[in-house]
Amino acid sequence: MGSGKFPLISKKQLASHNTVDSAWVSLYNRKIYDITEFLDEHPGGPEIIMEHAGKDITKILADPDSHVHSESAYEMLDDGMLIGYLATDEEERELLSKHEGMEVTFDALDAERYDRIPAGADGMRTVDLTDFGEIPDDLLHLKTDASADYKKYKFLDLDKPLIRQVLFAHWTKEFYLDQIHRPRHYGKGSAQLFGNFLEPLSLTPWWVIPILWLPPNMYIFYLGYTHLNPFVFFSMWTIGLFAWTLIEYCLHRFLFHLDTYLPSNQLAFTIHFLMHGVHHYLPMDGMRLVMPPALFLLLATPIYKLVFAIFPYYIACAAFAGGHLGYIIYDLTHYAIHHAKLPAIYSNIKTSHLEHHYKNYKLAFGVTSTFWDRVFGTLCKPKDVYQKRA
């Protein structure tokens, strides 16, 4: 920590910040965090956080019936959201009560630096002080302080193109896998992968999926439906749809998470990062939550050829239409899990997938269903928290 001290804040003031425009929480009844800008980024949705705005969240963060949060969750709070300390009863009596109308002090900040900090609606000036001793230009409520994060972990500088850094680094496999599974929240749109003309190819809005893939799906559906008995058609279509759930599970578990068998070199790390690592590193990046069309074609082509080689043409159309629809549902569900409020019926699916990201990436591989996780014993249980490196 630099020379600046964080402000001392009263319980009354903490309790008053309980709206979507200004949401504060405390941890261990001591540290106070401004999570206002994090509300929309919270994997579980803003509603869950707002139940605890203005209150202490120590118990709920560790509650196994709700969601045992990983080390990364605590790190995110300290990386850019810490704004002060909750005054004890004694401190309120001895310190705050002696300064009528003044609940916060920045006694270690000089006047010039203090004046450069924008005042909030309540007149307070809050700042994220880092180990660098200087106030960042974009100083309010960054999800992850890129400079501080890089200084602490020596992994990736979020403010520079990522692929070049991965390709030319000198990491051990253990270090790489540990770091990409410590989620960061960039907070300024999408972090750059390439930093050049290739950048747009790495960004895929969710709406591209139905616009691009529903028309061919409907055409293949039409071919099968108009040339087969309805019972035969829908039987094969349902089988294809169900088969997708297994394909989804296997791709996620054995290809995207080829972690154990990943070669220990930077080229392998780069391919792994491009395919799935970047999603675990930046799980709330809304432009990298659905599969880029080029990657889908690469993965779907052998499956397409296999289905049409095994079955008669129109039966293959029925099966592939079902499986392809399953993929479309998968991608849209994946986006919704991270960025939309889902009906209660989807709560188990959402919880399972977020536990995969924030609790233990070695479990919970299903996205549209937990069925195969139950079959293969990979459901995430309350105590299944992945132990990260120190």
Write out the chain's pLDDT in tens, 390 residues. Answer: 333 456 778 888 899 889 988 899 988 788 898 888 888 777 667 777 888 899 988 887 776 665 556 666 666 776 678 888 887 776 666 555 444 333 333 333 333 344 444 444 444 443 333 222 333 333 323 356 677 778 888 999 999 999 999 999 999 999 999 999 988 878 778 999 999 999 999 999 999 999 999 999 999 999 999 999 999 999 999 999 999 999 999 999 999 999 989 999 999 999 999 999 999 999 889 999 999 999 999 999 999 999 999 999 999 999 999 999 999 999 999 999 988 878 888 888 988 998 898 888 999 999 999 999 999 999 988 777 776 665
Asked if 141 and 268 sit in the same domain, the reply is: no
Structural domain span for residue 330: 201-376
356 known member of a binding site: yes
Asked if 141 and 232 sit in the same domain, the reply is: no
276 known member of a binding site: yes
Query: Hey, how many other C-beta atoms are within 10 angstroms of the C-beta on 150?
Result: 17
Asked if 25 and 123 sit in the same domain, the reply is: yes
Is 30 a member of any domain?
A: yes
b/e 179-211 (16+ beta carbons within 10 angstroms → b): bbbbbbbbbeeebbbeeeeeeeebebebeebee
357 known member of a binding site: yes
Mark which of 148, 168, 189 sits at the end of a domain: 148
Is 335 a member of any domain?
A: yes
303: exposed, middle or buried (Cβ count in 10 Å: 0-12, 13-18, 19+): middle
170 known member of a binding site: no
**pTM over the 0.75 mark:** no
Is 75 a member of any domain?
A: yes
42 known member of a binding site: yes
Q: Report how far residue 184's alpha carbon sits from residue 125's, in angstroms, rounded to the nearest whole number.
A: 25
252 known member of a binding site: yes
Amino acid at 344: A
Is 194 a member of any domain?
A: no
280 known member of a binding site: yes
339 known member of a binding site: no
Asked if 215 and 99 sit in the same domain, the reply is: no
227 known member of a binding site: no
CA-closest candidate to residue 289, choices 145, 222, 190: 190
Q: Report how far residue 61's alpha carbon sits from residue 73's, in angstroms, rounded to the nearest whole number.
A: 9
Mark which of 128, 148, 168 sits at the end of a domain: 148
Phi then psi for residue 34, to 5 deg, are -95, 110
338 known member of a binding site: yes
Asked if 234 and 333 sit in the same domain, the reply is: yes
Number of independent structural domains in the chain: 2
99 known member of a binding site: no
